[in-house]
Amino acid sequence: MTVAVLGTGIMGSGMARNMRRAGLEVRAWNRTRKRADPLAADDIAVTDRPDEAIAGGSVVVTMMYDAASVAEVIEPLDAPAGTLWLQTSTVGIDGADRLADIATGKGWIYVDAPVLGTKAPADNGTLIVLASGPAAARDPAAPIFDAIGSRTLWLGPAGSGSRLKLVMNSWIASLTAAIAQSVTTARGLGLDPALFLDVITGSATDNPYAHVKGQAMIDRDFTTSFSVSGAAKDCRLIAAAVEQAGVNATLANAVSALFDQAEQQGLGADDMSAVAQVFGK
């Protein structure tokens, strides 16, 4: 099996390396080639164009910013009917449907499979894969999903994965904003914000994520694991999905506005924990 990984940024590079470590032949392409070039040291073939990466009947894996960027790359490509396309980017409900239509037009087998996790899980092969698509795709997709993830959930028809990804990202974005508010409010009230993390430790409200992001906010260390820009994009998709679900979108819109503000303040390339800077302390 040869796998063409299209998009080798923070997430895609780690995914490609883990596929190669699992014994799969991997070709990689990225819009900015210098971000893909380091993969050559891992015995991954780096190509100048996406059509070179998919040549010869490769399985196609996409990991890009949004639905528009995926569609722009995939639409011109020519590959045989029956080509397996594993779409792992976060693209939202309408985006997933749009990409499914592109796959149908090409006669490709489309698996909507966004992943849960950031840079470290991508590097370590411990992502959670939210797969949705035809049952016939499960066996051929398994070696790839096993390489990049610790767990794969098959959720039904294509599009179900993107729907659950928005549900999960809604919780993550809201939690990040809540941690930021608690840390910065403690600081603003003249308290050591580390007390917040001390108090929740071992309680029913404790979770490892709060400590990772909370400590980053306390230290103002915003080394990127998942960017503010990516979170802002996802929050817009979440807000649209919440409204489409007929659910009150007050919280979704508020969280989205916070990440939009962080991006507008020039923090787009920083880790999403930098949303704490919006609170001003």
Domain boundaries, the chain: 2-158, 163-279
Single-letter amino acid code for the residue at 114: P
Closest CA to 8 of 25, 32, 24: 32
Give the pTM. Answer: 0.94
pLDDT for residue 109: 98
Closest CA to 91 of 152, 149, 9, 163: 163
Pick one of 3.30.200.20, 3.40.50.300, 3.40.50.410, 3.40.50.720 as the CATH number of 2-158.
Answer: 3.40.50.720
State the CB neighbour count (10 A cutoff) for residue 123. 17
Contact 233, 66 (CB under 8 A): yes
d(CA 189, CA 202): 24
pLDDT for residue 186: 98
pLDDT for residue 42: 97
Q: Which two tokens stand for residue 39?
A: 């993969």
Helix, coil or strand: residue 254: helix
Place of tokens 């993550």: 172
pLDDT for residue 22: 97
Contact 110, 88 (CB under 8 A): no
Contact 54, 30 (CB under 8 A): no
Give the number of residues written for the chain: 281
Domain 163-279 superfamily per CATH: N-(1-d-carboxylethyl)-l-norvaline Dehydrogenase; domain 2 (1.10.1040.10)
d(CA 129, CA 90): 12
Contact 144, 242 (CB under 8 A): no
d(CA 233, CA 91): 9
The per-residue DSSP string of 234-255 comes to HHHHHHHHHHHTT---HHHHHH
pLDDT tens sequence for the chain (281 residues): 899 999 999 999 999 999 999 999 999 999 999 999 999 999 999 999 999 999 987 899 999 999 999 999 999 999 999 999 999 999 999 999 999 999 999 999 999 999 999 999 999 999 999 999 999 999 999 999 999 999 999 999 999 999 999 999 999 999 999 999 999 999 999 999 999 999 999 999 999 999 999 999 999 999 999 999 999 999 999 999 999 999 999 999 999 999 999 999 999 999 999 999 999 86
